[in-house]
Amino acid sequence: MDGAVSEAAPRLDLAGKHIVLGLSGGIACYKAADLTRELVKAGASVQVVMTEAAEHFITPVTMQALSNRSVATSQWDAREPNNMAHINLTRGADAVLVAPASADFLAKLVHGRADDLLSLMCLARPIERCPLLVAPAMNREMWAHPATRRNLAQLRADGTTILGPDAGDQACGEIGDGRMLEAVELLEEMVAFFQPKALRGKRVLVTAGPTFEPIDPVRGITNLSSGKMGFAIARAAQEAGAEVTLVAGPVHLPTPRGVQRIDVRTAQQMHDAVLPAARRHDVFVATAAVADWRPATLSDQKIKKNGSKIAPTFELTENPDILAAVARLPDRPYCVGFAAESHDLLKHARDKLERKNVPLIVGNLGPATFGRDDNALMLVDARGHRQLPQADKLTLARQLVAEIASRLSTASA
């Protein structure tokens, strides 16, 4: 092989999951079509159930074609051998997701009303085995109304998971809270919902991406880190139930849902953001490829060619080592470092373990990972090392998060 790495197979985050997707009446029904596609693409089987009001916004034909199953719309559907669609629909289901959930439908759920198939089915579902999630969609005044506030509090108390809503432009022309989340956001929420909650109640701080060390107003020193591995770790930790803070160097990546992001540019800024926050966290994962050096002086004007053909020279000064500084804190979080090397991975990772005085170093080959969607990791600690073989970065991040969680629970046992 020439050192190239083969692409990992696409991840099917919802493989084996059966989801009942309920649609109540609202303009956001148009998003349910895309949501069905996203869920199916992620490996789920999807059974659509629609209220009569939903059928005014989107047809069962569309939903049937996208879900590849006939849509259930009535409790009087004689096609069911036992004529009990409201029971049968949820018995093999892993979750019911109502998206969109109108204000009226939420009110019906609160009161246990059961005068149409979807509300009847929600009431008749096995509450311990089949969780209910709702994605509200309504006008901002309806969302803010005390009746809706009361209903949401009661739904939460009854164990319902509320997804969103978002704020922004509304179909009615007004602007505010109440827009249903987009299909990809709902997919991300569903995937997270099914992940094991190994870090529930923990706080995780992650650094990601490169840093940029300015030379003059238009140039600087940086590296090829894309930030993908660090962002995947932040997402995986959040999926595992942690409260996550992500300190990101200059990258163009969307913030994982539910993660608090702090953007920085230089190593010094990253250091200044991380150090005061570190004490408040249980885990620190230093994924960022921090520049070791920065120009000693910053030219406030663009450095020009001076015609003499003599290239300018720079003096460099060392950047603070963020990981080592966190590891020196008296009440330090559990620290995980990364080693992106071009060769002798194990040797360099071992060296970092000691030099930075951290319990776990994650090694990877820089040229084989920078910018890519997949990677292979080597976990190195004082006792030995273990490979996490080639996979997409989110899969690896979930494995790493599970490993960190088990080390935390062993440490606190």
Chain residues binding ligand C5P by CB under 6 A are 207, 267, 286, 288, 290, 292, 319, 321-323, 337-339, 352
- Tokens 């109502």 appear where? 98
Q: C-beta of 218: minimal distance to ligand C5P in Å?
A: 24
In angstroms, the CA 17 to CA 212 distance is 43
With respect to ligand C5P, which residue has the nearer C-beta, 21 or 323? 323
What minimum distance in Å lies between the beta carbon of 317 and ligand C5P? 12
For residue 38 the two structure tokens come to: 């996203």
Report the nearest approach of ligand C5P to the CB of residue 280 (Å). Answer: 18
What is the distance between the alpha carbons of residues 115 and 121, in angstroms, rounded to a whole number? 10
Indicate the helix (H) or strand (E) that contains 348. Answer: helix 345-355
Contacts of residue 17, defined as CB under 8 A and 6 or more positions apart, other chains included, come to: 43, 44, 45, 94, 95, 194
Amino acid at 131: P
Q: Which is nearer to ligand C5P, 21 or 358 (CB)?
A: 358
Identify the residue whose tokens are 């090392």. Answer: 385
Q: Among residues 198 and 360, whose Cβ is nearest to ligand C5P?
A: 360
Catalytic residues: 172
Residue 143, both tokens: 């969302």
Q: Return the closest-CA partner of residue 236 out of 401, 408, 406, 404.
A: 401
Number of H helices, E strands in the chain: 14, 19
Residue 236 Cβ vs ligand C5P, minimum distance, rounded to whole Å: 17
The two three-digit tokens of residue 324, written as one number: 């080592």
Nearest distance, CB of residue 380 and ligand C5P, angstroms: 12
Phi, psi of 34 (to 5 degrees): -65, -40
Which of these, 33, 51, 41, lies nearest to 14 by C-alpha position? 41
Contact yes or no for 256/231 (Cβ under 8 A): yes
How many other C-beta atoms are found inside a 10 Å radius of the C-beta of residue 161?
16
Cβ proximity to ligand C5P, 225 vs 395, nearer residue: 225
Kindly tell me which of 86 and 352 has the beta carbon lying closer to ligand C5P: 352
10 conformational bin, left if phi > 0, alpha if psi -120 to 50, beta if neither: beta
Q: How far is the CB of 207 from ligand C5P (least distance, A)?
A: 6
Which CB atom, from 235 or from 352, has the smaller least distance to ligand C5P? 352
Helix (H) or strand (E) holding 48: strand 45-50
